[in-house]
Amino acid sequence: MASRSSSRSKSAPTFECTECGWQTVKWVGRCPECQAWGSVQEKGQVTARTTASTSLVEPAQAIGDVDATVAQYRPTGIGELDRVLGGGLVPGAVILMAGEPGVGKSTLLLQLAAAVARGSQDGERSDDGGEVDAAAGGAVVDDGARRPVLYLTGEESAAQVKKRAERTESLADGLHLAAESDLGQALGQIEHLDPGLTIMDSVQTLSSGEIEGAAGGVTQIREVTASMIEAAKRRNMTTILVGHVTKDGGIAGPRMLEHLVDVVCQFEGDRHSRLRLLRAVKNRYGPTDDVGCFDLHEAGLTSLADPSGLFVSALSERVPGTCITITLEGRRPLTAEVQALIAESPASQPRRAVSGLDSPRVSMLLAVLQRRARLATLSSSEAYVATVGGVRITEPAADLSIALAVASAALEKPLPSRFVAFGEVGLAGEVRPVPGLQRRLQEAQRLGFTHAIIPRGVGRDAGPGGPEIPEGLRVKEVGSLPEALNLVLDGGPPPNAQESGAPAT
C-alpha cells in the first residue's frame, strides 16, 4: 500500500488549466487558481518536436518592400465610428465589440453593414482606374472593396433583423443576412458569398460540432474565434465579432479572446440616457485615446459631432448649486454640468445621494469643504449631487466644479453666468493641475463661455510650455479651494488671485 501511494504521488499531472497553467492529477470543472470554468483539459505528452519546413510559402521581405496599401483604412461613412477606429475599417482586421444587453450594439453594426453595402454599390471609377467610394467622402479604394456584406446572427432570425433594418432605414442591396449558430455553416456562408465585411452577432452563440462543450464555453469561443480570424486573414475580409459582457462589465469568455483580435471596442451607455459612447480599448491600427458619441433614438443611432448640449440644462437664469466643467473623454473635450442640492436634515445621519459621479470622491469633497472651507452646515445637511443628461464623470479634473456647486447650494448663492471651472482638489484643500488644459479652454471659448477658473501655475505663469489663453476668455488662477470660493461667491477676487488672458468682449 505504501509503495502504491508513493508511486501515485510521484506521477506527473495529466490535466492543465489553459488559462493560467495550473496542473492537477484529475479533472475538475473549475480551476481553483484563476476561477475559470471549463478551462481544465487533459494534458497530452509531447512525443515530437515540430521541425523546420524545407519550402517556404512566402519568404520574409525587407520591411521597406512590404506593400502597405492593402492595410489602408476604408472610411465607413459613420463619422464617430471612424474616429474611434482611427480612420475606418482595415481589410483583414478582426474587431471585437462588447457591451451590455440593450445598449445598441446590434443596431450600430446593422447600420454599419448597410452603410458599407451602399458604398460598395455606389462606387464610381476614378481617373486612375480605381473606384471612388461615395460613402467614404470620395476616397479611392481598390476593387477588393466592391464585395458584399454578410451579417450572421445567432440570436435572432433573419426576419427579425430585417424588421430592425426597416425601422432604422438600414436596407441595402449588397447586404446579406443569415441566421446561423453552427460554425461550419457560418464558414460555408463566407466561402459561398466571399464578403468584404462579415459581422457575427454574437461570438458566444456560435459553436462547432467538432468541439465538445456548449456554445459560449471557453473551448467553443476559442475555436470560433480562431476559425473566424483564419478566414479573415486568408480572405482579406474585415470581421466584426459581437461579444457579451459579464455582470462586472468584463468581456465574457477567455482573456485570450481579447489578445487574438486586432481591435477591442466597448459600447457604453446608461439605459435611461440617449447618449452612447464607443471606446477602443485595444487597436493595432490606430490610437485608443478617442471616443465616439452617438444619440440613440427610435430610428437607430446618429453620430454626435458635438454632444455638449445633452449634458447642460437649458435654464435661462442663474440658480444656486449648478456649475459647468469641461471633461476629457480620451482626447475629446465634453461639456458637463454638475448640480447640487443641500437641505436641512432632521436625522442624526444626513443622507448623501450621488448620480453620475464617483460617490467616494464626492464624500471626500464634502469633507474638504467642511474642514478647509469652513462650511460647517454640511455635517448636518442632506447632500444630493448629480450630473445632467446621465453622463458619468470619473476624472479628478471635475473636483473643483463639484465643490463649487455644493458650496453654491449650501450658501444659496449662484455662480457667475457663462462660467466654467476645472481642477483637482486635494485633502489639504489645494487645487492641483489637470491634463489637457489647452483643449478644455478652447472648448469653453468655442461654446461662448467668458470666465474660467483653473489651477495656479498652468496659465500665464506656466512659461513657454503653458497653454495659450483663447481670446475673449477671462481666466483666473487659484491655488486653493477657499480661494476659489472667495473669488466666485463673494463678488470679487482675493488679493492673491492671478488673472490670465484678455478681458471678455
Query: pLDDT of 445-455, one tens digit each?
Result: 999 999 999 99
Lowest-confidence range among 250-254, 362-366, 391-395, 430-434?
A: 250-254
Residue 114 near residue 150 (C-beta atoms within 8 A):
no
Given pLDDT bands bounded at 50, 70 and 90, which one contains residue 97? Answer: very high
pLDDT in tens, 244-275: 988 877 888 788 889 999 999 999 888 778 88
For position 218, what pLDDT does the model report? 85
Amino acid at 107: T
HEC sequence for 307-352: HHHHHCCCCCCCCCCEEEEEEEECCEEEEEEEEEEEEECCCCCCCE
The DSSP secondary structure of 11-29, one letter per residue, reads SPP-EEETTT--EESS--S
DSSP β-ladder status, 431-432 and 498-500: unpaired
Given pLDDT bands bounded at 50, 70 and 90, which one contains residue 131? Answer: very low
Residue 78 near residue 115 (C-beta atoms within 8 A):
yes
364-367-369-373 Cα dihedral, nearest 10 degrees: -130
Lowest-confidence range among 51-60, 294-303, 415-424?
A: 51-60
What the block records as the C-alpha cell of 420 is 466654467
Cα→Cα distances 54→46, 59, 60, 65, 141, Å: 22, 12, 14, 24, 38
For position 310, what pLDDT does the model report? 72
For position 125, what pLDDT does the model report? 33
Closest CA to 273 of 387, 420, 385, 402: 387
Q: Which residues contact 199 (CB under 8 A, 6 or more apart)?
A: 109, 112, 113, 149, 150, 151, 152, 239, 240, 242
Place of cell 488644459: 437
Please give the mean pLDDT across all residues of the chain.
84
Q: Which residues contact 12 (CB under 8 A, 6 or more apart)?
A: none
Mean pLDDT of 407-422: 93
pLDDT in tens, 277-295: 899 999 998 888 888 999 9
pLDDT in tens, 101-126: 989 999 999 999 999 999 865 543 33
Mean pLDDT of 234-246: 93
Q: Between 247 and 224, name the one with better pLDDT.
A: 224
Mean pLDDT of 160-171: 94
**SS3 state of residue 370:** helix
Closest CA to 98 of 231, 229, 261: 261
Given pLDDT bands bounded at 50, 70 and 90, which one contains residue 491? Answer: very low
pLDDT in tens, 3-43: 444 444 444 557 888 877 788 888 888 888 888 888 888 77
Determine the Cα–Cα distance for residues 157 and 197; give it in Å rounded to an integer: 20
For position 19, what pLDDT does the model report? 79
Residue 140 has pLDDT above 50, yes or no: no
Residue 370 has pLDDT above 70, yes or no: yes
Go through 142-153 and write b for each residue having 16 or more CB atoms within 10 A of its CB, e for each that does not. eeebebbbbbbb
DSSP β-ladder status, 474-478 and 498-500: antiparallel
Q: In the chain, what percentage of residues exceed pLDDT 70?
A: 86
Given pLDDT bands bounded at 50, 70 and 90, which one contains residue 48? Answer: low
Q: In the chain, what percentage of residues exceed pLDDT 90?
A: 54
Given pLDDT bands bounded at 50, 70 and 90, which one contains residue 368? Answer: very high
Using alpha carbons only, give the angle 388, 369, 431 rounded to the nearest 5 degrees: 80
Mean pLDDT of 423-441: 94
Given pLDDT bands bounded at 50, 70 and 90, which one contains residue 225? Answer: very high
Mean pLDDT of 337-354: 92
Determine the Cα–Cα distance for residues 392 and 10; give it in Å rounded to an integer: 56
Mean pLDDT of 147-176: 94
pLDDT in tens, 84-94: 999 999 999 99
Q: Between 326 and 462, name the one with better pLDDT.
A: 326
H or E element, residue 223: helix 218-235
For position 441, what pLDDT does the model report? 93
Mean pLDDT of 482-501: 65
Q: Between 152 and 461, name the one with better pLDDT.
A: 152
The Cβ-side half-sphere exposure at 312, using a 13 Å CA radius, reads 20
Mean pLDDT of 54-80: 88
> Which pTM value belongs to this model?
0.74
Lowest-confidence range among 193-197, 309-313, 345-349?
A: 309-313
